[in-house]
C-alpha cells in the first residue's frame, strides 16, 4: 500500500497531475513560429525551454539505465539548439522527443524507487526531474499567456 502511494506520488511529480496543467501538454497547440518567439525581457523561447527540459529528461533516463552521462561544465551546455524551430516538422519532432523522454521516466517510476544506481536513489532522481519540469512548465505557461496562446487545447488549471 505504501509502495503504491509512493509510485503515485512520483508519477504525479513527473506529470504535474493535480498541481498544474499536465507537463506533457504544456506545448500542445502552440504554433511552431510562436514557439520560437522571445518577447522583450523574456530569457527563453518555448522552443528553448522544450530543448532544455528534454535534455535533462534524456540525461536522467540514461543515468537511470546505469549509464554515466556527462554533465555539462556550464548551464549553457544544457540549452541545445537555437531560439526557434526552422519548420513545423522540427517543432513536432522536438515535442515528440520531449514526450518520449517523459514516458521513459514514467516507466522507470514503476520499479524499485529506493535502488541507488549512482549518487542518488531512483526516487531522488525522478523527484528532481519532476521539480525541474514543473519549474519550466510554469515558465512555458506564463510565456504562452504573454503570447496570448494559453491554455493548450487540453485546458489547464485556469480556474
User: Where residue 85 sits, what CATH number does that domain have?
Assistant: 1.20.120.450
Across the range 105-111, mean pLDDT stands at 92
**Structural domain includes residue 158:** no
Stretch 21-35: mean pLDDT: 92
- Between 119 and 103, the more confident residue is 103
Average pLDDT, the chain: 91
Question: Is 156 within the bounds of a domain?
Answer: no
Q: Looking at residue 157, what is its pLDDT?
A: 60
- How is the chain split among helix, strand and coil, in percent rounded to 5? 55, 0, 45
- Measured between its terminal Cα atoms, the distance across the chain in Å is 33
Number of compact structural domains in the chain: 1
Question: Does residue 84 lie in a domain region?
Answer: yes
User: CA-CA distance, 137 to 36, in Å (whole number)?
Assistant: 16
The answer to whether residue 66 scores a pLDDT higher than 70 is yes
**pLDDT above 60: residue 31:** yes
- State how far the Cα of 110 lies from the Cα of 73, in Å rounded to an integer: 32
Q: Retrieve residue 25's grid coordinates.
A: 501538454
| Any domain includes 152 | no
Give the per-residue pLDDT at 6: 80
Taking CA atoms, 89 is separated from 65, 78, 85, in Å, by 29, 22, 8
* Model confidence, pTM: 0.92
Domain of residue 91: give its range: 2-146
Summarize the confidence of residues 106-124 as an average pLDDT: 91
pLDDT, residue 42, reads 93
Amino acid at each position: 500500500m505504501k509502495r503504491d502511494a509512493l509510485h503515485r506520488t512520483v508519477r504525479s511529480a513527473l506529470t504535474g497531475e493535480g498541481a498544474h496543467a499536465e507537463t506533457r501538454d504544456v506545448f500542445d497547440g502552440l504554433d511552431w513560429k510562436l514557439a520560437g518567439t522571445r518577447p522583450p525581457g523574456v530569457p527563453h523561447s518555448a522552443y528553448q525551454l522544450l530543448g532544455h527540459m528534454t535534455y535533462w529528461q534524456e540525461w536522467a533516463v540514461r543515468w537511470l539505465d546505469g549509464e554515466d552521462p556527462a554533465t555539462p561544465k556550464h548551464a549553457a551546455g544544457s540549452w541545445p539548439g537555437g531560439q526557434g524551430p526552422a519548420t513545423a516538422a522540427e517543432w513536432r519532432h522536438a515535442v515528440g522527443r520531449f514526450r518520449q523522454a517523459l514516458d521513459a521516466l514514467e516507466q522507470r517510476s514503476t520499479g524499485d524507487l529506493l535502488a541507488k544506481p549512482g549518487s542518488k536513489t531512483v526516487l531522488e532522481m525522478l523527484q528532481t526531474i519532476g521539480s525541474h519540469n514543473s519549474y519550466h512548465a510554469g515558465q512555458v505557461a506564463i510565456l504562452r499567456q504573454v503570447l496570448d496562446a494559453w491554455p493548450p487545447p487540453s485546458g489547464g488549471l485556469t480556474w
